[in-house]
Chains A and B, each alone.
Chain A
Amino acid sequence: MKKNLICVSCPLGCPIEVEIENGEVISVTGNTCKRGDAYARAEITNPVRSLTTSVKVENGVHPVVPVKSSGPVPKDKMFECMSVINSATIKAPVKIGDVVIENILGLGVDIVATNFDAGI
């Protein structure tokens, strides 16, 4: 099976073709540097993304405070993470780096606040 990707390691955006057999990468072509090869392999075997969103805050200056995943999460778990985060509520005051949700979905990644809210 062949899969086409656009490399995002740098602004060049090389079109990459990956040949896959039984879930294993056979060849990577089209990349112009090593980073492209690594990107393509990671993207095929275990695509991950960092997740940024917001979480409801009680007694905050604003109704929500922005958060991010402390590390990348599997791409296909993004919406599951979103529903966990969207059902959570935290209390002001909040500061940058506060852990909002620990070890989300058992992925080994925390959801942490990325802004302050001193509260009202």
Chain B
Amino acid sequence: MLNYDLVVVGGGPAGMAAALKAKEEGVEKIVILERAETLGGILEQCIHTGFGLHYFGEELSGPEYAGRFIELVEKTDIDVFTDTMVLNVSDDNVVTAVNNNDGLMQFKAIAVVLAMGCRERPRGALSIAGSRPAGIMTAGTAQKYVNIDGYMPGKKVVILGSGDIGLIMARRMTLEGAEVKVVCELMPYSGGLTRNIVQCLDDFGIPLRLSCTVVKTHGKDRLEGVTIARVDEKLQPIPGTEEYIECDTLLLSVGLIPENELSKDVGVELDRVTSGPVVDEYRETLKPGIFACGNVLQVHDLVDYVTEESQIAGKGAADYIFGKKKGGTFINTKGVDGVRYIVPQRVNIEGDENLKLYFRVGQVYMGAKVVVECDGEVLSSRKKVKLAPGEMENVVITAEMLKKMNENSEITVRIEE
């Protein structure tokens, strides 16, 4: 058994930021366990720019953003195990992991930070008719093929889903010589950033079809084409609108799912909307000493916010390790009227610092108000020019506000049109 103060599961931006923050706070023995061959997580394959505008004040590519943290980790005495798969986190914080060199290892930890990230929703989660030919993959898989392995997975491409990864891959495949025929989006709006729609699709004349989906795939060994169709308000395909498109590749960019198998095994309670753990403002789960941050907690649109959130978790873990973590009285936060979820789900009303509640809305709002209430009293009300599901928002709860609350209070955030 190896003894550590802090075990961090996952060496992407979340895990690295949490470990570095804990180190800065004075935690001595820290280890990061990473499944891939290097630190950096998914940023390693996100070679486009747009990362770091908030955190570093400059526009970096994914590997450059990760590189800055990898360099910082290397300057510390934080231990790193790469190519290492965590199999289990036990009830008493023993983390079991395995790799080719060391075999099976057990790490006894005072605190654990879960930073496993998320994965893409696969084809199996969609009900598309047809056989299983080669050429159907998630946009992220294609991204790894092209950007890491230097391998082009196809020549004629259809993309289902207009999330940012799908849009980025439309441009990437086009630049490398593929013909991207169409991007189909089930919803009447795109979940991607406007900037990406303009610079990844419009620049290359790639059509974006809203309220449209793939209903059938064709081909036996290799994909030969897909049938697309328009959908009605209930998102059901409209008979008679089918159209055949010849292609050898179908990329799926249809959502991300936090990867919480380890969290479930150890009995961490999950939020049904985020699919991530229920946490308090220190990002501690309902299991004492187990913290969560990054995309395993909630899917983020900006890595800068992942870093911010993970530093909170790293600080929380350090306080826990030093026995400084305050007990307190925790109350719930709740999103209503258009607010789909709030992280953190629990807040300590005895806390003496301002804190931010992060949330997402369920649809696009123009000129609506974000209203924060507690026990029938409006704590803040702020008009926003635009609110969209693709962009995480936040509201501030001040220490002053917390002082007025009691154990039966509930903080709600709602949208008022």
In the complex, A119→B301 CA distance in Å?
Answer: 33
Residues 195-221 of chain B, each 1 if its beta carbon lies under 8 Å from chain A, else 0: 101110011000000000000000000
Closest chain-A Cβ to B61's Cβ sits at a distance in Å of 4
Contact B64 A6 (CB under 8 A): no
Taking CB atoms, residues of chain A closer than 8 Å to B63 are 66, 96, 114-116
Contact A52 B197 (CB under 8 A): no
In the complex, A20→B176 CA distance in Å?
Answer: 33
- Partner among A7, A11, A66 whose Cβ is within 8 Å of the Cβ of B193: A11
- Determine whether B72 belongs to the interface, using a CB cutoff of 8 Å to chain A: no
Binds B, one of A21-29, A56-64, A102-110: A56-64
Closest to A12 in B: B386
Contact A66 B198 (CB under 8 A): no
Contact A52 B198 (CB under 8 A): no
Residues 47-78 of chain A, each 1 if its beta carbon lies under 8 Å from chain B, else 0: 00111111010000011101010000001001
- Determine whether B175 belongs to the interface, using a CB cutoff of 8 Å to chain A: yes
Contact A64 B150 (CB under 8 A): yes
Contact A82 B198 (CB under 8 A): no
Closest chain-B Cβ to A98's Cβ sits at a distance in Å of 12
Total contacts A to B, CB within 8 angstroms? Answer: 74
In the complex, A78→B199 CA distance in Å?
Answer: 12
Closest to A8 in B: B195
Taking CB atoms, residues of chain A closer than 8 Å to B151 are 63
**Contact A52:B49 (CB < 8 A) given known A75-B203, A79-B175:** yes
Taking CB atoms, residues of chain A closer than 8 Å to B176 are 53, 82, 86
- Partner among B44, B48, B149, B194 whose Cβ is within 8 Å of the Cβ of A52: B48
**Contact A8:B64 (CB < 8 A) given known A53-B175, A64-B148:** no
Closest to A56 in B: B150
- Determine whether A13 belongs to the interface, using a CB cutoff of 8 Å to chain B: yes
Contact B150 A12 (CB under 8 A): no
In the complex, A11→B164 CA distance in Å?
Answer: 13
Residue of B175, B176, B385 with most chain A CB atoms under a 10 A cut-off: B175
Of residues 30 through 61 on chain A, the ones whose CB sits less than 8 Å from some CB of chain B are 49-54, 56
Residue numbers of A with Cβ under 8 A of B are 6-8, 11-13, 49-54, 56, 62-64, 66, 68, 75, 78-79, 82, 86, 96, 114-116
What are the nearest 3 A-B pairs in CB distance? A13-B194, A64-B150, A66-B47
